[in-house]
Structure 1
């Protein structure tokens, strides 16, 4: 009796995600690229006022469920990039020391702003946004990282908090609507 040969391990055997395989003969990549380029050229050649106002762009050749759209220019936020470069401890630990974060904000025009902010400044911005924005936009404001009075001067804690605050600040300043609000502009400039 002949025993079957061992089957090779399937590369997606342990995946939990949905995997959809598109047959090789179902997509003409060159035709899709040509149509996309043609579509982009048509959009560029139209004056801004006559471009379609539809919330969805043209459909993809692949599927009627995929829509292509150019959202360039729709953000009202002034910031282009947000980075917290580091932190410094000010004062001595016994006499009321505090930590200041160097928030580096590069505007869309290319100007770099260094805003030195304490954690309490982030809390003030969070509160100002919650009070000034309409309720339907509150879910766009992520929660601030929690306080930790016992670890606040440890380098590992400060680096983790720096990354968390950078994520938080990026979420706020780069949001197309929230990033343009008066509370954000005031916070950055003061």
Structure 2
């Protein structure tokens, strides 16, 4: 077979019609994957929510129960709090998103006796506990209760937002339940058992 014969048997690029759906696009094209990596989107969301390079917890000004240089007990004795570990393991949607749906968080509270309590709470339940603590705690203890994360009606069903809020609420609930005095308050006990 000669070179002329081989070139005639292969169709030229001008005879092949390419139908690429974006061949005439002039702007930047971003292809979104079929599945969303919730952890990655959540990390990105955290970066966007940082205020001047400081995380939410640092900017709130409330003392942290996770600080390495603060021990939860004091020199007068043991902590009176009943919990030893607090996690919010996840969330779920309840109801129809178009007609009054809401999000419920699974609060996993491990007691000092190694009993695990699953308390399913809406965001409004966290607000009720915050308000109850502000009303019942003495003024010298109120500053130990950090502010709640703000509401966000526009992105409340987005997985990244919900994971970000889950972590914020976990921090908040840990700060309350693991505090040696506040964690033993009647308001906390009622909230957990309700």
TM-score w.r.t. structure 1 length? Answer: 0.62
Aligned residue pair count? 122
Task: Summarize deviations over 1:31-65 as a string: whole Å, max 9, x none.
Answer: xxxxxxxxxxxxxxxxxxxxxxxxxxxxxxxxxxx
Query: Runs of 4 or more off by more than 4 Å in structure 1?
Result: 69-73
Structure 1 distance, partners of 2:76, 2:180, is 11
Q: 1:72 Cα shift?
A: 9.7
Task: Give the corresponding residue for 1:137.
Answer: 141
Q: Does 1:122 align with 2:126?
A: yes
Q: Provide the C-alpha distance between the structure 1 equivalents of 2:74 and 2:84, rounded to a whole number of angstroms.
A: 18
Find the aligned partners of 2:74 and 2:185 in 1 and give their Cα distance: 23
2:182 is equivalent to residue 178 of structure 1: yes
Deviations 1:48-93 (A, max 9, x none): xxxxxxxxxxxxxxxxxxxxx9869510000010000000000011
Secondary structure of the residue aligned to 1:130 is helix
Deviations 1:110-141 (A, max 9, x none): 00000000000000000000000011111000
Structure 2, unaligned runs of 5 or more:
1-72
Alignment RMSD (CA, Å): 1.6
Look up the match of 1:80: 84
1:1-190 equivalences under 5 Å are: 74-190=78-194
Larger Rg: 2
Q: Normalization by structure 2: what TM-score?
A: 0.61
Q: Matches of 2:81 and 2:193 in 1, distance apart?
A: 15
Higher relative contact order (CA 8 A, sep 6+): 2
Structure 1 stretches lacking a partner, 5+ long: 1-68
- Aligned mates of 2:94, 2:76 — CA distance in 1: 41
